[in-house]
């Protein structure tokens, strides 16, 4: 099975090294120590121009939880709009309600605002109480991808949940398997969780 390897990076230098090592898509973030926040779009422009690989830009105003104030949500909307001006391939975000369910209305608005950019709902989904139901909700909203470790710290620990999520997603929605996926354990993970897309900080050797 052909598989897409997505690498999350913070800098152009990291992106360049990752692509040389076999990365097929870049997720660009700032502040990966806290799970990633919105990066500099100048770095995204440089990656697109010089490396010619798809770039997915994190849209997240801060670290911490995924319940945002109105001002924070407005900032996210502004950042998505700016991505349209820079030939960005897609955006990555996640918004939850206080009860940890997906904030359907705000997610729907961001998806509509993002079009025609691709949309990935990130690991905020792993905080939701019913992962399979969350997949269905995002499928109904037309999201292209969901990044998940199956609600567990690692993909292997979340294997059973991920397999159920992949099944519910069907061909219309792609689950990106994440959670301590590295170039060293990639073969083990792909055998345990057959899938088309995998994501990690060190999913290629650079």
Range of the domain at 10: 4-200
| pLDDT, position 167 | 97
In a domain, 206, yes or no: no
DSSP designation for 58: E
**pLDDT per residue over 122-143, tens digit each?**
999 999 999 999 999 999 999 9
In a domain, 172, yes or no: yes
Task: Please give the Cα distance from 126 to 153 (Å, whole number).
Answer: 9
Q: 3-class DSSP state for residue 25? A: strand
**Are the beta carbons of 201 and 29 closer than 8 angstroms?**
no
Based on the structure, what is the number of domains in the chain?
Answer: 1
Tokens encoding 167: 């099944």
DSSP designation for 116: T
Crossing angle between the packed helical segments 104-114 and 131-141, to the nearest 10 degrees: 40
Instruction: Report residues of the chain scoring pLDDT below 50.
Output: none
**Are the beta carbons of 103 and 97 closer than 8 angstroms?**
yes
Domain containing 109 — which CATH number?
A: 3.20.20.380
Task: Please give the Cα distance from 80 to 93 (Å, whole number).
Answer: 10
| pLDDT, position 174 | 98
In a domain, 163, yes or no: yes
In a domain, 86, yes or no: yes
In a domain, 97, yes or no: yes
Tokens encoding 27: 């997720």
Please give the model's pTM, rounded to 2 decimal places. 0.96
| pLDDT, position 26 | 98
Q: 180 vs 49, 99, 185, 203, CA distance in Å? A: 29, 27, 9, 9
In a domain, 103, yes or no: yes
| pLDDT, position 138 | 98
In a domain, 205, yes or no: no
**Are the beta carbons of 110 and 86 closer than 8 angstroms?**
no
| pLDDT, position 1 | 59
Task: Please give the Cα distance from 21 to 6 (Å, whole number).
Answer: 12
| pLDDT, position 2 | 82
**Chain centroid to CA 77: how far?**
17
Query: What is the sign of the dihedral through the CA atoms of 30, 32, 33 and 38?
Result: positive
| pLDDT, position 55 | 96
In a domain, 84, yes or no: yes
């Amino acid at each position: 099975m052909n598989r897409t390897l997505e690498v999350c990076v913070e800098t152009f230098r990291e992106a360049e090294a990752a692509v040389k090592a076999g990365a097929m898509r870049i997720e660009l973030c700032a502040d990966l120590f806290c799970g990633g926040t919105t990066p500099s779009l100048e770095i995204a422009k440089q990656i697109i121009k010089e490396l010619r690989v798809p770039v997915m830009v994190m849209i997240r105003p801060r670290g911490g939880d995924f319940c945002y104030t109105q001002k924070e949500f407005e900032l996210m909307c502004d950042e998505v709009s700016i991505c349209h001006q820079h030939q960005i391939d897609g955006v990555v975000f996640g918004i939850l309600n206080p009860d940890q369910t997906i904030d359907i209305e705000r997610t729907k608005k961001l998806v509509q605002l993002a079009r025609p950019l691709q949309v990935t709902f990130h690991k905020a989904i792993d905080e939701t109480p019913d992962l399979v139901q969350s997949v269905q909700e995002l499928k109904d909203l037309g999201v292209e991808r969901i990044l998940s470790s199956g609600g567990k710290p690692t993909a292997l620990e979340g294997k059973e949940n991920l397999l159920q999520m992949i099944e519910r997603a069907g061909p219309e929605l792609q689950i990106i398997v994440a959670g301590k996926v590295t170039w060293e354990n990639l073969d083990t993970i792909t055998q345990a969780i057959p899938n088309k897309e995998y994501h990690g900080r060190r999913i290629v050797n650079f």
